[in-house]
Structure 1
Amino acid sequence: MALARLAAASPYFGVQVVDDQTGRGVPLVELKLQNDVKYFTDSNGWAALNEPSLMGREVFVEVTSDGYEYPDKLVFGRGLLLRLSPGGRATVKIRRKMLAERLYRVTGEGIYRDTVLLGQKAPIRAPLLNGQVLGQDTATTALYQGKLFWIWGDTIGPDFWNFSVSGATSELPGRGGLDPGTGVDLHYFVEGKGRSKGMLRLPRPGLVWIEGLITVKDPAGRERLLATYTRQDGLKPPDECGVALFDDAKAQFESWVQMPCRKSHYSAHPFRHDGYWYLYPWLRVKEDWAAIQDPAQWEERKVQPPPKATRISCVVWNEYRRRWIMLLEKTGVVSYAEATAPEGPYGPAVEILRHEHYNFYNVVAHPYFDQEGGKVIYLEGTYTDSFSDAKQKTPRYNYNQVMYRLRLDDPRLQEAQR
């Protein structure tokens, strides 16, 4: 009753765009009016339209979204006619063209902005602003002390930049955490005024980026969290490379071991296999406290090169397929391939999601989110105009992490892997 009264008094006309296969709200759908005013759906698929001059009128709303398509086409374009009214609601079904399903934005401001404006319930505890984060680049994660530990690169705030990486934790699904199909409740490490704090501050100037997170037992038998990192001047080759150790008491990383630098920074999503930590399929080290500190014990491996013009994003083991899964990226496009060994050779690469004229990079799969015995997997990446031919930035979504879901029993995916 209270929500009904709120809706009746609301100046907003609510449009929810849903996936016609799953019925779930679709984020990142553009709704454009004839006067070129644009709205973008939030992580519940809601858009709160506030157009006083058009209320009570029938208007054409063009519906567009990367990887999705509105089924009907009118003389104005793909979209529909809606009669706007304060407090009114409309549901719009959209057809998914790609294999992966877009779920929600993980980071940034206003993740559920329109949901809140329309008086609806948001699934996460901080639906509008968390850690004062407006934008975050590149996620890497690890299981540490029974929780999921998150690290991101450069972070944008309302009145600050954090170039010393940001961090957070979240509870695991089934252990107090949300179903990964619903969202992720992030608990940021913060400092003064509640802003996301620098997690690896170095005395020398430059951008600090953590490449990958690994855990190992120290000589006392305690689980410790380590991070490989680089310090560099923008996209130039790194000036410093090393391994950082997380100080639980201070809740921050400190430089621990210096390592020889490679030619460039390359984001990592490490995985365990046969007693080794693989930073990438081509670089591994024994899961041993002393070995990790010795650059001579980091072993280079020969791997199958990725298909032309693509980049390896991550490799994970999948229980359902009983194979290693590789995700590859190419400016806005993500593909999927399988192999019986992490180094390959990998089978045909199958496109699973696409962004037109926009980038989606440093993609990572989250095996601890797998469902139905690995039949359903989750992956996310950085949605950004950087290194793309985007003509404009998408408000709120730009330079943030977006989560997708993929069913590995999809016949289109199965057929390609035979």
Structure 2
Amino acid sequence: MYRSILSWIVCLFCLIGTALSVEPCCIEIIDDENGWPVPLVELRTINNQRFISDNAGVIAIDEPDLLGLKTWFHLRGHGYSIAKDGFGYEGVRMTLQPGERIAIRVKRKLPAKRLGRITGSGLFAESQKLGRMTDWKDQPIFGCDSVQNAVYEGQLFWCWGDTNLSTYPLGRFHAVAAKSAVQPLKTFIPPVQLRYKYFLDSNSLPRNVAKIPGDGPTWIDGLVSLKDQNGHEHLVASYSKIKKPMTIYETGLCVWNKENEKFEHYHTLWNDTNSLQKDTQDRPFGHACFWTDLQGQKWVLFGDPFPQVRCPATFEAWSNPDSWEKISGTVTIHAVSDGRKIVPHRGAVSWNPYRKRWVTIFTQQGGESSLIGELWYAEADSPLGPWEN
């Protein structure tokens, strides 16, 4: 008797749970030109409920107050849009039903096609609510600052700045790093699924890899792999030590220790306690690229975004400040659409085999849509310019 009553109660709770669980309404954001899914498109209701498409262009909505109700959603896509209505509103009106699929086709306004996020959490969270992409598991990163890359020992070495983890408000502040194949994506057709082999701690979380002695965070830039005169490969970078309020108090050089899998102090260039001069960027900084000049000399160029310092592409030259040369001149870029001057902020330069030219992608300082500015693209026959937008 007791067992039969218990079984009946368990079945009742299962039936109630089934009745209360509602299959979400699936919204797919699609590029009208090529049919690709579009990540990071925001739908927002009149009362500011926000929904953002994942890497598969999917949004899953199961909010009880929205299902079955005719609802207006503002649409915001940062480069993707739909036609505005007579009052100038850009959005869609939909009646969401459980289990229904609704496709929203958006038009791309910019040359660049959005592929998707490659770090952070919830890359396919919306899809997984619908039982899709169940084989994907996010890696233990919530967010991270600027990235540096270098090809080292046949793999692509990644290094990020300040990084947020799920475990505590204070994350990693001495750079985290990972490795991947040199070409980590088999295709540039979304959805993008890029996985890294992080350098982990005993708790299987990405660990600090550049804890240079001194108080405060450590920032890494100018990452590059260089061979010495004996042919041995060295992964090297510049470092900056930070104090409140976000002030650099020391700069120097560091070298990757392959056995200990961390960057180690190599040489101090400047410290505010030992010098009356201010720190300058007449050192390897920003992003690195290789260039062979017309005389056959191979250089490594450093800058952010455009080259400002160079040295012969050897470990010995990199480690000797007397070998560094400042690249003179200023870079001016004008928009091809209206000729206005674009002030570069941050970015990088690289040779592009497809375009057979040097290319740069950089953020604008003081743009129209935000103080950080839009992303811009330009090309040149030389990494030293002149650059054409």
In the superposition, the TM-score normalised over structure 2's length comes to 0.79
8 Å CA contact retained: 1:238, 1:263:
no
* 2:377 alignment partner in structure 1: 336
| The one of 245, 266, 269 aligned to 2:255 | 245
* CA deviations over 1:343-396 (Å, ceiling 9, x no partner): 12223x3xxxxxxxxxxxxxxxxxxxxxxxxxxxxxxxxxxxxxxxxxxxxxxx
* 1:111 alignment partner in structure 2: 123
Structure 2 residue matching 1:107: 3-state secondary structure: coil
- Is the radius of gyration larger for structure 1 or structure 2? 2
The CA deviation at 1:25 is 1.3
With 299-308 and 250-259 compared, the bigger mean Cα shift is at 299-308
The CA deviation at 1:205 is 0.6
Change (3 A) 1:266 1:285: closer
With 216-225 and 164-173 compared, the bigger mean Cα shift is at 216-225
1:278 aligns with 2:290: no
How many residues are matched?
Answer: 335
Structure 2 residue matching 1:36: 3-state secondary structure: coil
CA–CA distance in structure 2, aligned partners of residues 163 and 312 of structure 1: 20
* 2:349 alignment partner in structure 1: 315
Give the 5 Å matches for 1:59-78.
59-71=71-83, 73=85, 77-78=89-90
Structure 2 residue matching 1:271: 3-state secondary structure: strand
Structure 1 residue matching 2:35: 3-state secondary structure: coil
The AA in structure 1 aligned to 2:269 is M
* 1:196 alignment partner in structure 2: 206
8 Å CA contact retained: 2:39, 2:115:
yes
Change (3 A) 1:246 1:85: same
CA–CA distance in structure 1, aligned partners of residues 346 and 123 of structure 2: 29
Structure 1 residue matching 2:65: 3-state secondary structure: helix
8 Å CA contact retained: 2:174, 2:218:
yes
CA–CA distance in structure 2, aligned partners of residues 10 and 266 of structure 1: 56
CA–CA distance in structure 1, aligned partners of residues 66 and 299 of structure 2: 62
CA–CA distance in structure 1, aligned partners of residues 377 and 54 of structure 2: 27
The AA in structure 2 aligned to 1:272 is F
With 183-192 and 147-156 compared, the bigger mean Cα shift is at 183-192
The CA deviation at 1:306 is 3.5
CA–CA distance in structure 1, aligned partners of residues 30 and 258 of structure 2: 42
Give the 5 Å matches for 1:398-417.
none
With 67-76 and 15-24 compared, the bigger mean Cα shift is at 67-76
The AA in structure 2 aligned to 1:343 is L
* 2:332 alignment partner in structure 1: 306
8 Å CA contact retained: 2:73, 2:92:
yes
CA–CA distance in structure 2, aligned partners of residues 211 and 234 of structure 1: 20
Change (3 A) 1:105 1:65: same
* 1:295 alignment partner in structure 2: 321
* 1:86 alignment partner in structure 2: 98
CA–CA distance in structure 1, aligned partners of residues 55 and 123 of structure 2: 6
CA–CA distance in structure 1, aligned partners of residues 237 and 107 of structure 2: 41
Structure 2 residue matching 1:210: 3-state secondary structure: strand
Give the 5 Å matches for 1:51-200.
51-71=63-83, 73=85, 77-121=89-133, 125-126=136-137, 128=138, 130=139, 132-158=140-166, 159=168, 160-173=170-183, 177-181=185-189, 182-200=192-210
8 Å CA contact retained: 1:237, 1:263:
no
* 1:268 alignment partner in structure 2: 286
In the superposition, the TM-score normalised over structure 1's length comes to 0.74
1:43 aligns with 2:84: no
| The one of 203, 217, 220 aligned to 2:227 | 217
CA–CA distance in structure 1, aligned partners of residues 47 and 249 of structure 2: 50
CA–CA distance in structure 2, aligned partners of residues 268 and 58 of structure 1: 50
In structure 2, stretches of 5+ residues that fail to align are 1-17, 272-278, 293-297, 334-340, 365-371
Change (3 A) 1:195 1:312: closer
8 Å CA contact retained: 2:115, 2:188:
no
Structure 1 residue matching 2:362: 3-state secondary structure: strand
* 2:7 alignment partner in structure 1: none
| The one of 2, 18, 26 aligned to 2:30 | 18
Change (3 A) 1:66 1:267: farther
CA–CA distance in structure 2, aligned partners of residues 41 and 135 of structure 1: 17
With 334-343 and 110-119 compared, the bigger mean Cα shift is at 334-343
* 1:230 alignment partner in structure 2: 240
CA–CA distance in structure 1, aligned partners of residues 225 and 378 of structure 2: 27
Structure 1 residue matching 2:203: 3-state secondary structure: helix
Structure 1 residue matching 2:248: 3-state secondary structure: coil
8 Å CA contact retained: 1:140, 1:213:
yes
CA–CA distance in structure 2, aligned partners of residues 10 and 298 of structure 1: 64
CA–CA distance in structure 2, aligned partners of residues 318 and 273 of structure 1: 12
With 97-106 and 235-244 compared, the bigger mean Cα shift is at 235-244
With 246-255 and 321-330 compared, the bigger mean Cα shift is at 321-330
* 1:33 alignment partner in structure 2: 45
